[in-house]
A and B are shown apart, each in its own frame.
Chain A
């Protein structure tokens, strides 16, 4: 048992106020912790993180040990869970919700030798990296398909909370739908929840009743797709996970959060001793944002166009936010050929020109 060794070390750690732990890094097995905000069975956000965790295990086999705690409330509970993982000898800890930001920074201060990776936040430290995905790149592809597919020219959009990530998605989808179909109109409903199947179903039904025949969702359950199927003749997209059970229609494509390549990469870096704090915001190119299969419900030429857009985004040739673009109030945002900087995108709190309605405050 490693118990005695650890006990000695923690004794020392206590003496210096926890500062010296994380020493278990010398073990030949790299221990990786995951803190989840939802249950692994949510079929969306947490589910995909856990899929990536399993891929890490598959990839490294015996060289890695992963642990996770699910449904951890943001705040002091998450801080305790992280500390506990660090004490138990984790070398690397992924904290997978925005609300874990300050707790991650707090715990990281106490364990300088443990590496932390915080998803979707903006605070870094020597041993804290942040990572997030450019989901809006996928939204651009969705918008293109949606713009072509809609016959009523009304596209419904179910938002979760009015935060920059969601607003970015709405804008990216709108810009590209408009590009291929100038008559398109967006109807936006805020659910004020990330996952609440009944409410999402209601929202989808309302949008359909008001004439939408394409539903985009930024909430995590399959309820909107089920509602689309029941209504008939409506299409939608998988969100966070592929939602393949609704293929070929209503689910005509999807945005999949694929964290596995990044996780494997970061675990490898810890093993090699090359881990450095960085700020990663990856999109389609490295595979963090995946476009799920575009089904045959989509005409061939639309599919080709969508895939071409995906390719040009992946190659860096095209940026989904390229001028000329105006803000909703008509003021200039991006000049001809200009692309949006990451700072503006990260804090995006406005609609682009053409979208009706206000962002709730």
Chain B
């Protein structure tokens, strides 16, 4: 029963890994929501990405091709959602739920021949001197490439939304699609692209689980991480850097509770497991006093009437 067995450096290093999948998926969903689309099908797209990536990596022996295939698979599936919500003007909540159902079924059909196989391993960066630096070395330089990709994605998304014209257009579509349309922006086209981006990110997140974090294929292996990604976007109040913070916080709670258990400290696991969600609600309440609320057109259907 001593806390000394918990090594803070390793704790931070492993929460970075635990947070990566959900972070990548959440960034994708953030872009979709910033464009005014609420896609509840993240879980379905993630698991589809997980199997697409796994299968391709096994077939080709290359994790890189696996990740590309995962992004493609997730994006392809998300286009189904895009068709329903942007072309057929169906309700986004219901379409997203249906997408998850469909994705779960599709992935287990695709995955039937991939049980009990080890995928090719994704190399970890190992820079002789740097990685061996005390503390910092392991945290900053000791991960697989996808961890850095995730961080880069957060930075790129932030820069995109803040500094580029395209980012501005995307946000305006999310805030007020009628006004954006009046200004001549292609609301539907922009949203479809945002949805596809979200799908690709979800697929990558899923593949990170099946290729790096676990690595294996099991039906239903994403086990609710897609739903956590949704929570994360809200927690982050639609801001990329806060997604990073939130992902580390969520990942941190998981890793920390396991660490505390292993150190022999009796903790009520269930209550600790609910804490991220309760924190998210609290954040939502605090945020509502702030200006940073949800994109105004989130979840609303757009149809150009003229």
Q: Is the CB of B118 within 8 A of A245?
A: yes
Q: Tell me, in angstroms, the Cα distance from A203 to B254 when the chains sit together.
A: 9
**Pairwise interchain contact B14-A202, C-beta atoms closer than 8 A:** yes
A356 at interface by CB-CB < 8 Å: yes
Q: Is A198 an interface residue (CB 8 A)?
A: yes
A193 to B273, CA, bound (A): 13
B262–A187 CB distance below 8 A: yes
Contact B262 A210 (CB under 8 A): yes
Assess whether A206 is in contact with B262, with CB atoms less than 8 Å apart: yes
Is A190 part of the binding interface, using a Cβ–Cβ cutoff of 8 Å? yes
Across the interface, do A197 and B216 meet the contact criterion of CB distance under 8 Å?
yes
A207 at interface by CB-CB < 8 Å: yes
* A residues lining the B interface (CB < 8 Å): 38-39, 41-43, 47, 156, 187-190, 192-193, 195-199, 201-203, 205-207, 209-212, 221-223, 226, 230, 241, 243, 245-246, 356-358, 360
Instruction: With A187-B262, A203-B258, A356-B264 as known contacts, state yes or no: A43 contacts B218, CB within 8 Å.
Output: yes
Against A, the Cβ 8 Å flags (1 = close, 0 = not) of B212-247 are 011110111111010000000000000000000000
**CB–CB B262/A41 < 8 A:** no
Chain B residue nearest in CB terms to A230? B121
Interchain CA distance A150-B111 in the complex, whole Å: 36
- Which residues on A sit within 8 Å (CB–CB) of B289? none
Contact partners of B255 in chain A: CB under 8 A: 202, 206
B223 pairs with A356, CB closer than 8 A: no
What are the interface flags for B57-84 relative to A under an 8 Å C-beta threshold, 1 for contact and 0 otherwise?
0000000000000000000000000000
Interface of A is mostly: mixed
Residues of A within 8 A of B222 (CB): 198
A360 touches B216 (CB 8 A): no
B10 in contact (CB, < 8 A): yes
A210 and B221 form a contact (CB under 8 A): no
Q: What's the nearest-Cβ distance from chain A to residue B1, in Å?
A: 7
Question: Is B18 a contact partner of A221 (Cβ separation < 8 A)?
Answer: no
Interchain CB contact under 8 A, B266 and A357: yes
Instruction: State whether A198 and B218 are in contact (beta carbons under 8 Å apart), knowing that A156-B262, A207-B262, A356-B264 are contacts in the complex.
Output: no
Interface residues of B (CB under 8 A from A): 1, 5-7, 10-11, 14, 17-18, 21, 108, 111-112, 115-118, 121, 209, 213-216, 218-223, 225, 254-255, 258-259, 261-264, 266, 268-270, 273
In the bound complex, CA of A43 to CA of B115 (Å): 7
**Which are the 7 A-B pairs with shortest beta-carbon distances?**
A197-B214, A209-B10, A206-B258, A39-B219, A357-B264, A196-B223, A187-B262
Q: How far is the CA of A39 from the CA of B105 in the complex (A)?
A: 11
CB pair A192 B264 closer than 8 Å: no
* Closest Cβ–Cβ distance, residue A15 to chain B (whole Å): 40
Q: State which of A38, A189, A211, A357 has its C-beta within 8 Å of the C-beta of B258.
A: A189
CB neighbours (8 Å) of A198 from chain B are: 18, 21, 209, 213-214, 221-223, 225
For A230, the chain B residues whose CB sits under 8 A away are: 121
Instruction: Pick the residue among B112, B216, B259 that contacts A221 (CB under 8 A).
Output: B216
A117 to B268, CA, bound (A): 36
> Which of B7, B17, B111, B118 gathers most chain A CB within 10 Å?
B118
Residues of the B chain whose Cβ atoms lie less than 8 Å from the Cβ of A202: 14, 18, 254-255, 258
B108 to chain A, nearest CB (A): 6
5 other contacts beyond A41-B218, A197-B209, with CB at 8 A cut-off?
A39-B219, A189-B262, A198-B213, A209-B11, A226-B215
Say yes or no: A41 contacts B258, CB within 8 Å. no
